[in-house]
Amino acid sequence: MRKLLIYAEQGFTVIALLIYSGAILTLLLSGGAGQNEVVEYDSLLNRISFFVIYGITLLLLILRWKKTLYVLVLNKDIFLYSLVMLTVVSIIWSFEPSTTLKNSFTLIGSSLFGLYLVSRYSLKEQFYLFAWTFGIVIVLSFIFAIALPKYGIQNDGTGRPLLRGVFTHKNGLGARMVTSSIVFFLLAYQSKRRSWLFWGGFSLSILLLLLAGSTSSLLNLLILILAFFAFQIWRWPYQVTVPTLIMIATISQSLYFWFSNNAGVLLTSLGKDATLTGRTDLWPLVIDMILKHPWLGYGYGGFWQGWDGESAYIWLNAGWTPNHPHNGYLALWLDLGLLGLGLFLLGFWRSYLQGLAWVRSSNTALDIWPLMQMTYIFLASLTESTLLESNSITWILYVAACFSVRMGHERKIKS
């Protein structure tokens, strides 16, 4: 009976991760709508799914209240806790209080799931659950593309078919396959048994990434693989580590300057325009609106309300109708002002430093995961707005990474 309950809980975790990743459900409810199609659909099933997850998560945390309390007290992550609470408090000055109330509630629910992952599973157990989750995504994405092309294939507007798998957009598939690639890569690198299976998952993740045509995700993955080996170097003796990292930093800076001077040519060769698909034209307009309420923002989720909200200025001047600024830092600044952005950056930097200390004292590839995940969030937030997005696996994995490095840091101090 005990084993059955354990398997049931693991099944719940995998299903929840699938739903939080945005896979399957939203795509099916939208009827496989195309990239430029605006469709209305009943999202009741989606909302019910999340409410069920919140309820079960809270119940499981209460049942293990001692472990839950231990993780919460041990972490003492004042910046993370304050950031989540600020989303709730922002109801006071929000331009759309009802949206802020709803979004802050779902953010708390998502954060609790991140807490649940760390308090219930070891890092190794989390990895195997991630592998199951992304394995299901990979298999279903190929099935949707072959058997249900209306759902699995997306037209990019130029007649070129691109794979979106079980997501509503190719960039969604691309983003998830970056995380999937890293999960399978670390498992394959670490494992002595069944490594072929994990290398297979890694290869299929990259294949889906290529078929999705998500250039930014592919670039992020390349940087993350290089970062992994840099973190491995960080474990070497200081007399070797320091000159090696200085050399890597010098080469990276040279590449950055080269890219800055040749960005237009390089982006064109990759099929991208110099404005990053309109992002660089959008950002100055967003900054204009940020400067009107720079300190506290418009409230969590209070800005993007279409023509009826402050976002009307963006829509009118941009010539298109974005629902987010395509930059996580600008999105956070819009919502919670410089106060919210500052809390995130301070918390991020603190957790990153603790992660570096943890990696320095450990010797397994899996221990690098929190740093890899935080590095990915930092990179992805330059062009996407999922930094503080509720009901998002990105935020959940960030919360889990922060808790994990803090616990590892405390164990290092005690030892």
For 36-80, the DSSP string reads T-------HHHHHHHHHHHHHHHHHHHHTHHHHHHHHHHH--HHH
Domain annotation covers residue 290:
yes
Pick from 210, 78, 198, 190: which is nearest to 141 by CA? Answer: 210
- State which residues of the chain have pLDDT below 70: 33-42, 156-159, 252-253, 255-278, 408-415
- Phi-psi category of residue 24: left, alpha or beta, with phi > 0 → left and psi -120 to 50 → alpha: left
Model pLDDT for residues 167-177, shown as the tens digit of each residue: 998 999 999 99
Instruction: Tell me what pLDDT residue 67 has.
Output: 92
SS3 at position 153 = strand
How many Å apart are CA 213 and CA 154, to the nearest integer? 11
Is 29 in contact with 41 (CB distance < 8 Å)? yes
How many Å apart are CA 279 and CA 242, to the nearest integer? 37
How many Å apart are CA 346 and CA 53, to the nearest integer? 30
DSSP lists the bridge partners of residue 154 as: 162
Sequence length of the chain is 415
Q: How many CB atoms lie within 10 A of CB 349?
A: 12
Domain annotation covers residue 251:
no
Instruction: Tell me what pLDDT residue 259 has.
Output: 59
Domain annotation covers residue 49:
no
Quick one: tokens of 79? 């910046």
Q: What is the DSSP letter of 91?
A: G
Domain annotation covers residue 333:
yes
How many Å apart are CA 3 and CA 26, to the nearest integer? 32
Domain annotation covers residue 378:
yes
Structural Rg of the chain based on CA atoms: 21
Domain annotation covers residue 133:
no
Instruction: Tell me what pLDDT residue 155 has.
Output: 76
366-369: long-range contacts (C-beta < 8 A, 24 or more apart)? 366/123, 366/124, 366/127, 366/186, 366/187, 366/190, 367/123, 367/408, 368/186, 368/228, 368/231, 368/232, 369/123, 369/127, 369/182, 369/186, 369/401, 369/404
Total domains present in the chain: 1
Is 138 in contact with 20 (CB distance < 8 Å)? no
How many Å apart are CA 90 and CA 78, to the nearest integer? 18
Q: What is the DSSP letter of 321?
A: -
Pick from 371, 379, 394, 328: which is nearest to 222 by CA? Answer: 379
Instruction: Tell me what pLDDT residue 380 has.
Output: 94
Domain that holds residue 406: 78-120+277-415
Is 139 in contact with 153 (CB distance < 8 Å)? no
Domain annotation covers residue 235:
no
Domain annotation covers residue 173:
no
